[in-house]
Amino acid sequence: MIFSSKAEYGVRLMVELGRQPPGHPTSLKAVAEAEGLPLAYLEQVVARLRKAGLVMSARGAHGGYWLASPAEEISMDEVVQALEGAIAPMECFVNEHTERVLCSHEPDAGRGCATKLLWTRVQGGIIRSLQQTTLADLVEFSRRGEHTGSPVFSRRGEHTATAA
């Protein structure tokens, strides 16, 4: 599964907003500069996040964007789904708003798709990981790396320590 730059930029935007004091409006220009992201693209991304009810905004000289809920209450599956839509590891997955994973291949004489089990497990693993990760987790992780140097990862990709 490869997520688009919408997901990457949206998550980075949410982390930056999560680093701000609660309810403190932050301009997109400030986020774009802090994260090295294109302002015009961030405007499109934040519109999706606002439509999903994840961020709020105010206009004017002291306006900007802030989180609609505490970072601890925002799971990353909400953010990614607001930006990417349904999470499907294969193009043949069609979700049509049900919990069942449907295969869009032509009927196969009742045999069933031989790879459906694998891709269903992959999809479930991705969704669980996103559901179990809150925005607060990412904000905390970003702060650890900021204070002590770059993060160090284990072979499995888990954060274990930071380098000095």
Beta-strand pair 159-162/151-153: antiparallel
Handedness of CA 22, 135, 146, 30 (dihedral sign): negative
Output the CA angle 14-20-21, nearest 5 degrees.
130
Q: Is the CB of residue 84 less than 8 Å from the CB of residue 11? A: no
For the beta carbon of residue 8, count every other beta carbon within 10 angstroms.
Answer: 13
Instruction: Give the tens place of pLDDT for each residue, 106-156.
Output: 555 556 677 778 888 888 999 999 999 999 999 999 988 765 555 444 333
pLDDT at 61: 83
Output the CA angle 58-59-62, nearest 5 degrees.
85
pLDDT at 86: 81
Name beta bridge partners: 75.
134
Instruction: Give the tens place of pLDDT for each residue, 58-71.
Output: 998 888 999 999 99
What percent of the chain is modeled with pLDDT above 90? 54
pTM of the model: 0.77
Average pLDDT over residues 19-35: 91
The domain 1-85: what is its CATH number?
A: 1.10.10.10
Average pLDDT over residues 6-35: 93
- Across all residues in the chain, what is the average pLDDT? 82
